[in-house]
Structure 1
Amino acid sequence: MHHLLIVDDHPLYRLALRQTLAAGLAGARIDEAGDLAGAQGLLAESPDTDLVLLDLQLPGTHGLLALGELRAAHPGVAVAILSGQDDPATVRRALAMGACGYLTKHAGTEELHAGVRALLAGETWMPSALRELLARTPRDSESESLAARLATLSPQQLKVLQRVAEGRLNKQIADELGIQERTVKAHLTVVFEKLGVRNRTQAGVLLSGLAGE
């Protein structure tokens, strides 16, 4: 029996997607989460989840960092993007950060079922039209490299970076995460080194570019 998790902040869309998937995957267990914290909680309870379908535009997250956090915390769980965005740059960044596939929200039922079945079979999947678009579009090696470097950060380092991008000070980050301020500084030292930046301002600029802002 397959076990899927839908992560999207729109309840009506989650309901419709769940019903659509259930019709094509007899006996599948399909859970839902409206934000990253909810997804993390469900994955902690069910680490044998086969596939996560993740919306990129979750509240309280910055760009692709939600994908990075899920992949870092649960490396054995396949995560595919299900998004309204289908521009080639976003798709390539998501794949560079470890997404196993990319589905679009305007996909028809047949295409959605085909994609999810392929992902559950261990394939890397995206719609043929999107694959053809990627083949015609020049690559942005710099942004893909940044996405790949973000994928090397630990869950805690990604949480710290998320809060830096939101403008929080080290003490605020320490209080929110329940760690020492010196631990925040240690995490940032590693983060800056991996991202090739010198300070939090440069890190924020990089993340803004990654998110297409």
Structure 2
Amino acid sequence: MGTGLKFVVADDHPLFRGALRNALAGLGSEVAILEAGDFETAQASAADEDDIDLMLLDLSMPGGSGLSGLVRMRAAFADLPIVVVSAHDGAETVRRTLALGASGFISKSASMEEIRAAVRQVLEGGVAMPANLELGTEGDPEMQQLIRRLQSLTPQQTRVLTMLSSGLLNKQIAYELDVSEATVKAHVSAVLQKLGVDSRTQAVIFLSKLGAEPLPG
């Protein structure tokens, strides 16, 4: 690995953040690590720095709410590799995080060396997941449809959806994205159509189902 790597470590447990920091520090001589204990801080850290190489994201942080937190972060930072770190490391969770755009998955039971190897793999353009894990196929038809419909959205449409779920009005979304209100309306219409729902409220409920899903053990 080259020098000058910059990471965001987002986890609400200081001890585990410390363990991740130690693992990442072993990747090179110049490693900068920004820490976040909740979703908003993680998002702000990534927004403030434009040269972050990778984010490690815990799925069950305050403000993150499960897989919908991953969708929100992916939408906001389409080019930033995000590796999910979770104690829920069953095939179902790993498969869903990868389907929703994570660049890798690290179990909280992973060793220092496994964490480093996974991060190296992603930095080199690969996808990291726990060894010897059979991903299998989605067994929950509703979840399968949820994920497939979310995958059909463009990054901008996904951002519009996540902003709707944050309660923003069209004119606020237009301001945030630096586009016209007419463009936002067109995006909202496309989102509703692709998700197969009739209203903004239903679209928000659609996304919240991902967060409401208890993460399988």
Identity %: 38
Structure 2: where are the runs of 5+ without partners? 176-180
Structure 1: where are the runs of 5+ without partners? 164-172
Q: Is the 8 A contact 1:80 1:99 kept in 2?
A: yes
User: Counterpart in 1 of 2:57?
Assistant: 54
Q: Is the 8 A contact 2:92 2:138 kept in 1?
A: no
Alpha-carbon separation, structure 1, partners of 2:6 and 2:84: 16
TM-score w.r.t. length of structure 2 = 0.75
TM-score w.r.t. length of structure 1 = 0.77
Alignment of 1:179-190 (within 5 A): 186=185, 189-190=189-190
User: Counterpart in 1 of 2:26?
Assistant: 23
Alpha-carbon separation, structure 1, partners of 2:43 and 2:205: 27
Residues 166-185 of structure 1: CA deviation (Å, up to 9, x unaligned): xxxxxxx44xx6889xx6x9
2:12 is paired with a residue whose SS is: coil
Alignment of 1:10-159 (within 5 A): 10-130=13-133, 132=134, 134-135=135-136, 137=137, 140=140, 141-149=144-152, 152=155, 153-159=157-163
Q: State which drifts further: 202-211 or 103-112.
A: 202-211
Aligned length: 200
User: Counterpart in 1 of 2:178?
Assistant: none
What is the deviation of 1:50? 0.7
What is the deviation of 1:44? 2.2
The alpha-carbon distance between structure 1 residues 199 and 95, as it changes in their structure 2 partners (threshold 3 A), is same
Q: State which drifts further: 19-28 or 200-209.
A: 200-209
Of the three residues 158, 161, 167, the one matched with 2:165 is 161
Alpha-carbon separation, structure 2, partners of 1:52 and 1:118: 14
Residues 138-181 of structure 1: CA deviation (Å, up to 9, x unaligned): 55542431442466434243122245xxxxxxxxx44xx6889x
The AA in structure 2 aligned to 1:60 is: G
What is the deviation of 1:80? 1.1
Residues 83-125 of structure 1: CA deviation (Å, up to 9, x unaligned): 1112333222221221111111111122111111111111111
Alpha-carbon separation, structure 2, partners of 1:142 and 1:178: 26
